[in-house]
Amino acid sequence: MSDKVIVDGKVAVLVSGGFGGGWSTWMKYHLSDGPCRSMAFEPKVVEILLAGLMDKNRAERKVTKDKIEAYMAEAYPDFYAGGIDGLRIVWVPQGAKFHIEEYDGNETLVLESDMDWLTA
């Protein structure tokens, strides 16, 4: 669905911290490439977050959150935005394989290169 935001060879991946609901792991809205996997790369949300990164006070951060909620409500009416409060960008090297682990809404990005694999 969406293009990825790439800066200096790194891809912006959206990951939610905190507890409650996960950004890309608690989706109700399904896309052709699987359950909302593209939401981890949603370029408009990345754009809003990047613009809001300079926000230092709580009121300005709320404006950023409200902009994301408004965009998602319009673009994806069935989207569950429970992970929006702790939403952040993790920059991943382009082409790197990763997955997003989730526990009670708290998401953690894990690179394939950081995993210990067993061989049968």
pLDDT tens digits, one per residue of 24-73: 877 654 455 544 556 889 999 999 999 887 566 667 778 888 999 999 88
**pLDDT per position as a tens digit, 73-98:** 898 887 777 788 888 899 999 999 99
Question: How many whole angstroms separate alpha carbon 37 and alpha carbon 44?
Answer: 15
The tokens describing 27, both together, are 């989706």
What confidence tier does 1 reach under pLDDT thresholds 50, 70, 90?
very low
Backbone angles phi, psi at 35, to 5 degrees: -65, 90
- pLDDT at residue 91, rounded to an integer: 96
- pLDDT at residue 25, rounded to an integer: 78
Q: Domain range spanning residue 75?
A: 6-114
Look at the chain and report how many structural domains it folds into.
1
The chain-wide mean pLDDT, for the chain, equals 81
Query: What is the crossing angle of helices 43-52 and 58-75, to 10°?
Result: 170
pTM of the model: 0.82
Residue 4 has pLDDT above 80, yes or no: yes
Residue 120 lies in a domain: no
Tell me 79's DSSP state: -
Residue 94 lies in a domain: yes
